[in-house]
Amino acid sequence: MGGNANLPPDISVTWAQPMPSHFHARFKAFARRYRYVIYNDQIRPAHMAEEVTWNHRPLDVQRVRDAAQCLIGTHDFTSFRAVQCQAKSPVKTVHHLHVLQQGCFIVLDIRANAFLHHMVRNIAGVLMTIGAGERPVGWVREVLDARDRRAGGVTAHPYGLYLVQVEYPEEFDLPERYIGPHFLSGLPLLAG
């Protein structure tokens, strides 16, 4: 509790423990998982303006799901990286990209071995464009194959982007926590 008292309000320590000298928070991780939360309604949300991305265009969730399937697997994600990205390689492996919906909330749940700078936000921008019917489902494949950021359209807002899980080898015996964000706890399949 003492640590949390000295942290800004958007950061909380949930546990702490000594780690072996060979542990590295970034380089020992073998998977990361993000959730991107979209509030899809004609009227903007008043109370969660900086916790979700608001999209006023009606999104066809099935179109988003169909397009998302093209991104699963090992690919060169150059079209989905920011210009200032410093990663040595644009090749990443997306293990899953689930598209979940409850009411006005649409959640992109994406797990990969690693991510490029703005990769999730650029994926979200492409998928929302497809969901709005502004591009065909196959456009995501064209963007991926172009290997050019200019082919990828708009970078989605940072609001609604949550790093929800970082996975490490079992040898480090790290505790597991609820996979958030917590305001979506009633959404089916969010815990797995």
Q: Which CATH number belongs to the domain containing residue 159 in this structure?
A: 3.30.70.660
Q: Would you say residue 66 lies in a domain?
A: yes
Q: Would you say residue 59 lies in a domain?
A: yes
Q: Would you say residue 47 lies in a domain?
A: yes
Q: Would you say residue 22 lies in a domain?
A: no
Number of compact structural domains in the chain: 1
Q: Is the whole model's pTM more than 0.75, yes or no?
A: yes
Structure tokens at 153: 């359209």
Residue from 89, 36, 94 nearest 70 by CA = 94
Domain around 66 = 29-168
Q: Digits of tens for pLDDT over the chain (192 positions)?
A: 678 999 998 888 888 889 999 999 888 999 999 999 999 999 999 888 889 999 999 999 999 999 999 999 999 999 999 999 999 999 999 999 999 998 999 999 999 999 999 999 999 999 999 999 999 999 999 999 999 999 988 899 999 999 999 999 999 988 887 777 766 666 554 444
37-63 residues labelled b (16+ CB within 10 A) or e (exposed): bbbbeeeebeebeeebbbbeeebeeeb
Strands 31-40 and 53-55: parallel
Q: Would you say residue 69 lies in a domain?
A: yes
Q: Would you say residue 15 lies in a domain?
A: no
Q: Would you say residue 101 lies in a domain?
A: yes
Structure tokens at 68: 């998302």
Q: Would you say residue 177 lies in a domain?
A: no
